[in-house]
Amino acid sequence: MIEEYGKGFARMIREWLAAMLRGDNPHWMFPEAMPHDAISDQANAEGILALLHERMNDADSQADIPVSFREHIGELARRKAQLSLMREAECRKILSHLHSAGINVLLLKGSALAYWAYPSAHLRDCSDIDLLFSSHAETLRAIACLESLDYRLRDPVLAGDLVSFEHTCVRNSVSGTGLEIDLHWQLSSSPIFAFRFHFDELNRQAISLPKLGEFARGLSPEHAFFNACMHRIQNMTDGSENSLKWLYDLHLLGSGFSPVQWQQVIDIAIDRKLAGTCRDGLLAAQHEFRTIVPDAINASLLRAEKDEIMKTGKMHRWFYIQYMSFMAFANWPLRMRWLRQRLFPNAAYLKMRYGETNWIGLLLKRIKAGFRRLF
């Protein structure tokens, strides 16, 4: 919808949405001819529809916002709340089922943040449920449990054991709304970040999520912050890293840190070579939401960033991402195995991807796809 009005209006809408989330109560700036869908579609794409509705309910925010638009957003926010309740009930069932099977699991990203960082879970928009397991073997056990709940693997084969570190299970609900579960056995699906944290470390410092049930546990605030920063950088490849939803996560996390927690963040960032990743995320959050970050923290991250190999400013470049993925592995045998899997995945994956049964045909299609990526 917004494409009809051009990039200028898209920027205007984003600026207004960010101001609303900051609590600035900006004046209504849109022409009457602009359909409400043009604004709500962008709010939905940014993942902040329910948050927008909450801000609009503030007394000072209602003065010049058209009643028809407030009603429009209210209806969409109610649908989001209904989906959130459905996802919560499903998550409770899944966690109970995994607990009964003796499978240890942690909730990641918005699946966990919604239940402790936000005043109400429905305010954190989630399109799926992210779960972290201790190993690939435990992930496969979890998949078997999910199959008994009518879930199925979306992609039954992977390109290789070093290319990605997650499976996705899907199930169609009776309401017609699809449910998606992402099952991870590393904190990041990208080799660049996959080996920065170990499950045992994350598990030891995990926090309970009583709002989601007795079996629900998520990352500690500090680890959730690193997860959010790494996830943001990983999404630079398609230019979606500055989604308002993700920046608001960082805003809430950073705003809630005590001096002791900030020091822990600095210590981990220096040890895991993630200072640039953290600083880039904090700067983006500060730009949109005026997140208060102590000057000493910014200075420490800046100093540490200068000694890191990975440069966040280059993470939009496909070749650079491949190079950093290659170098992320600890030794040359692993690097060469990753390279082979990346260039020429196993036959089952190629057949699933390209729908071809002849090996020569599969190879030609893979080469053609590679040339499209290069040029």
Tens-level pLDDT at each residue, the chain (375 residues): 445 556 678 999 999 999 999 999 898 989 888 999 999 999 999 999 999 999 998 856 666 899 999 999 999 999 999 999 999 999 999 999 999 999 999 999 999 999 999 999 999 999 899 999 999 999 999 999 999 999 999 887 887 889 889 999 998 765 445 689 999 999 999 999 999 999 999 999 999 999 999 999 999 999 999 999 999 999 999 999 999 999 999 999 999 999 999 999 999 999 999 999 999 999 999 999 999 999 999 999 999 999 999 999 999 999 999 999 999 999 999 999 999 888 877 777 666 666 666 656 656 665 566 555 544
Spatial separation of the C-alpha atoms in residues 25 and 61, rounded to whole Å: 5
The last residue of a domain, from among 62, 79, 96: 79
The answer on 227 and 285 residing in a single domain is yes
Instruction: Please tell me the predicted confidence (pLDDT) of residue 375.
Output: 46
The answer on 351 and 304 residing in a single domain is no
Does 257 fall in a domain? Answer: yes
Q: Find the Cα–Cα–Cα–Cα dihedral 238, 255, 84, 189, rounded to 10°.
A: 40
Does 315 fall in a domain? Answer: no
The answer on 297 and 246 residing in a single domain is yes
The answer on 298 and 227 residing in a single domain is yes
The answer on 303 and 233 residing in a single domain is yes
The answer on 350 and 289 residing in a single domain is no
The last residue of a domain, from among 263, 283, 308: 308
Q: How many domains does the chain have?
A: 3
The answer on 67 and 6 residing in a single domain is yes
Query: Domain range spanning residue 280?
Result: 220-308
The last residue of a domain, from among 79, 102, 121: 79
Q: Report DSSP state, residue 133.
A: -
Q: Up-side HSE of residue 123: CA atoms within 13 Å toward CB?
A: 17
Q: Other C-beta atoms within 10 Å of 2: how many?
A: 18
Q: Could you give the angle at the alpha carbon of 196 between the alpha carbons of 239 and 289, nearest 5°?
A: 45
Does 19 fall in a domain? Answer: yes
Does 304 fall in a domain? Answer: yes
- With DSSP H G I counted as helix, E B as strand and the rest as coil, what are the percentages for the chain, rounded to 5? 60, 5, 35
Instruction: Please tell me the predicted confidence (pLDDT) of residue 85.
Output: 94
Residue 180 contacts residue 131 (beta carbons within 8 Å): no
CB under 8 Å, gap of 24 or more: what pairs does 206-214 form?
A: 206/106, 207/116, 209/107, 209/112, 209/115, 209/116, 211/115, 211/116, 211/121, 212/88, 212/91, 212/92, 212/95, 212/107, 212/115, 212/121, 213/92, 213/95, 213/96
Instruction: Please tell me the predicted confidence (pLDDT) of residue 125.
Output: 96
Does 61 fall in a domain? Answer: yes
Instruction: Please tell me the predicted confidence (pLDDT) of residue 267.
Output: 98
Does 255 fall in a domain? Answer: yes
The answer on 352 and 286 residing in a single domain is no
